[in-house]
Amino acid sequence: MADAPTRGRVARSILENGPSTAAALADRLGLTAAAVRRHLDHLVAEGVVESRLPRSADRRGRGRPARVFVLTPGGRDQFDQQYDDLAAQALRYLAETGGDEAVLDFARRRAAFIGRDYEAVVTAEPDLSPAEALARVFSAEGYAANVRELPVAGAVDQLCQQHCPVAHVAHEFPQLCEAETEAISQVLGTHVQRLATIAHGDGVCTTCIPKSKEG
């Protein structure tokens, strides 16, 4: 029981930072590697996390790459998804009575926070890049978002949402994801591409974001 708070910190660190090695977790949390591995063993046994080979592992290199730990769907359930069943039932009713267009209209209304809050963030902190401002907006809504730079002529960032509070509902109603992507395009005034979503089985939602509105 005394270990439960620390295991919660380990799980939340993975939630907020995405796939993580034991060494990275130890460094972030100020724990020994042995302690982190002990907690990870328990979390794996409980079905909260699972280990995978990193996608970027160079198979031509020598040695075995360090495995990364990611939250399982059950692990994500322990955070903010307790109202999924109710939300799904409401959207099913909306689809039955108003059709797919009614669901999309609802999804767009829900995604309106992106345009509203983005303008507030860039006004308060004009030095932020578009991706950084969007990360602030999404994090405030529970998405645990951050930014990674991509080596594409320095012109593109990757917006990473490590958590999605509506992932299970969005799996059945992809209009929720579509509306978010549409809203991001609207606030930036340019096309953006979502590369992966938690709702469809990926470990993180990722979207390519130009570093400037003109980009």
Please report the beta strands in 8-93, taking only residues with DSSP state E, as ranges in sequence order.
49-52, 68-71
Task: Tell me the average pLDDT of the chain.
Answer: 87
Contact 15/163 with Cβ under 8 angstroms?
A: yes
Task: List the one residue out of 149, 107, 113 whose CA is nearest residue 130.
Answer: 149
Domains 4-72 and 84-210 share a fold: no
Residue 1: pLDDT band by 50, 70, 90 thresholds?
A: very low
The helix/strand/coil state of 161 is: strand
Largest CA distance in the chain: 59
The model carries a pTM of: 0.67
Write the pLDDT tens digit of every residue in 159-200: 999 888 888 899 999 999 999 999 999 999 999 989 999 888
Distance (Å) of CA 93 to CA 89, 90, 100, 105: 6, 5, 11, 14
Gap between the Cα atoms of 77 and 205, Å rounded = 16
Gap between the Cα atoms of 138 and 11, Å rounded = 20
Considering the domain delimited by 4-72, tell me its CATH architecture: Orthogonal Bundle (1.10)
| Type of residue found at 92 | R
What CATH fold (topology level) applies to the domain 84-210? Muramoyl-pentapeptide Carboxypeptidase; domain 2 (3.30.1380)
Contact 159/165 with Cβ under 8 angstroms?
A: no
CA dihedral 165, 168, 174, 175 (to 10 degrees): -50
* Confidence (pLDDT) at 80: 56
In the chain, where the domains are located = 4-72, 84-210
